[in-house]
A = this chain, B = another copy of it.
Amino acid sequence: ASGRVYNFSAGPAVLPEPVLLEVKEELPVYRNLGTSILEISHRSPEYAEIDASAKALLRKLLGLGEEWHVLFLQGGASLQFHQVPLNFLPKDGSADYLITGAWAQKAYKEAKFLGNARVAASSEDRNFSYIPDPSTWELDPKAAYLHFTSNNTIYGTQFQTEPEAEVPLVCDASSDFLSRRITPERYGLIYAGAQKNVGPAGVTVVLIRDDFLQRRNQPLPTMLDYGTHAGKLFNTPPVFAVYIVEKVLRWLEGLGGLPAIEAINDRKAALLYERIDRTDFYRGTAEPGARSKMNVTFRLPTEELEQRFVAEAKQAGLIGLKGHRSVGGLRASIYNACPIEAVEALVSFMDYFEQRYG
C-alpha cells in the first residue's frame, strides 16, 4: 500500500502486507459475525477455527506428527526461560546450555535460579561473534535437555546446522522460527516469540513432543505447567495475535512453505553479505562461519557515520537499522516477511552512502 517503507526492525518486525490488508478489511466486522474478531469469545466456533487452522498449518509447514503439541502461550520467550526449567529441569538432575548471546545467557540464568544448569559451551570470550565448534562442547549425556538459541538476534550469529546431542534439544527459535527447515526428531521443545518471524508481539509459539512433555516435573503451578495447555484452551488466549499468526502461516504456505522461504532467505542474506564484504567501508561483525540469515550486523568506519547512516536511510524509506543498544553498529533484520526488494533497496542505499561518505 502507499506510504509503506522498508522495515528492518529486529522485532516486533515487518508483517506481510497482504496480512495487514486482510486485518484492515475485517474491521470492525469479521465475516458475517456482526462484530470484530477482537470481541468474540475464545470458545466460539470462529476462534476455534482460527486456532485449529494455525496449529494445522504449523504442523504442515514443519512436518510435525501427532506426537507434537502446538501451544500458543503468553509472556514472551522470556517467560519460557523460566517455564522450560520449571517443567524439565529435574530436582536431582541437570540441563546443558549453549551460551551464544544475551538471550541464551538470560535463559541460562533462569535455569540456574531453579537448579543445576551447566554451561556446555560459550562464545562470550569473543563478544558472541561466533558459534562454538561442536568439538569443544562439554555435553553431559545425562542432561535432561540441551538448550540453545538457534539465532542470536543481537549479535547476528546463527547455528548453521542443528546441534547433535544424545539428549533432546530445547530451542529458543524466536528469531529464526520458520525461516528454514528443521529436523523435528532432535527436539523435545521449541519456542519462539511470534514478533519476529510469525506474527505480532503477544503470543509465544511452543512446540512440545509428547514423550518429552510426559517427563515434566509434577506438581506445577497450573498456568506454568505445559500440560495445562496441551490439547485445550485453558484460559483466554491472545486472540488477535493468534488470528494474525494464522494469516502469516497461510501466507507462508502460499509462498511454498519452508523450502521456498529458505531459498528466498538465502538470497536475501547473500545479497547483503556480498555488499558488506565487497569493500572495507562496511564490516560484518559476526564471524563468517556463523553469520545469521535473519539479523545482519555490520559496522561503518566511525560511530558518527553509523548514526548518519541510520538517519539518512530513514529519510530514504529504510527504517529499523540501528543495532541493539547493547552492541551498537547497524543491524538489518531480514525476516521472512522482509521482501527481497527491501534488501535490494538497502544494498543500493549502501552503495550510495559509501560513494558519498566513503
Query: Does A237 count as interface, using CB distance less than 8 angstroms?
Result: yes
Q: Are B12 and A42 closer than 8 Å at their CB atoms?
A: yes
Closest chain B CB from A346 CB (angstroms): 15
Q: Are B221 and A82 closer than 8 Å at their CB atoms?
A: yes
Which residues of B sit under 8 angstroms from A238, Cβ to Cβ? 74, 201-202, 238, 241
Query: Does A78 count as interface, using CB distance less than 8 angstroms?
Result: yes
Which residues of B sit under 8 angstroms from A79, Cβ to Cβ? 74-75, 223-224
Closest chain B CB from A337 CB (angstroms): 9
Which residues of B sit under 8 angstroms from A237, Cβ to Cβ? 201
Proximity string of chain A (93-133) to chain B, C-beta cutoff 8 Å, 1 when within and 0 when not = 00000000000001001100110000000000000000000
Interface centre among A33, A201, A224, A237 (most CB of B within 10 A): A201
Query: Does A52 count as interface, using CB distance less than 8 angstroms?
Result: no
Residue from B5, B36, B75, B77 within 8 A of A75 (CB atoms):
B75
Query: Does A76 count as interface, using CB distance less than 8 angstroms?
Result: yes
Which residues of B sit under 8 angstroms from A23, Cβ to Cβ? 27
A4 to B28, CA, bound (A): 8
Q: Are B74 and A40 closer than 8 Å at their CB atoms?
A: no
Query: Does A270 count as interface, using CB distance less than 8 angstroms?
Result: no
Query: Does A3 count as interface, using CB distance less than 8 angstroms?
Result: yes
Proximity string of chain A (205-231) to chain B, C-beta cutoff 8 Å, 1 when within and 0 when not = 000000000000001011110000000
Which residues of B sit under 8 angstroms from A34, Cβ to Cβ? 3-5, 7, 317, 319
Among A13-21, A57-65, A293-301, the stretch that binds chain B is A13-21
Q: Are A42 and B82 closer than 8 Å at their CB atoms?
A: no
Q: Are A12 and B24 closer than 8 Å at their CB atoms?
A: no
> Which A18-67 residues have a C-beta within 8 angstroms of B?
20-21, 23-24, 27-29, 33-36, 38-43
A residues whose Cβ falls under 8 Å from a Cβ of B = 1, 3-5, 7, 9-15, 17, 20-21, 23-24, 27-29, 33-36, 38-43, 74-79, 81-82, 86, 106, 109-110, 113-114, 193, 195, 200-203, 219, 221-224, 234-241, 244, 317, 319-320, 325
**Can you give 13 contacting A-B residue pairs, CB < 8 Å?**
A5-B35, A11-B236, A14-B35, A15-B39, A34-B319, A75-B79, A75-B223, A82-B224, A86-B221, A200-B240, A201-B237, A238-B238, A238-B241
Seed contacts A24-B27, A75-B75, A79-B224; 16 additional CB < 8 Å A-B pairs: A1-B29, A4-B29, A4-B34, A5-B33, A5-B34, A5-B35, A9-B40, A14-B39, A20-B36, A35-B319, A39-B200, A82-B223, A113-B221, A113-B222, A201-B237, A201-B239
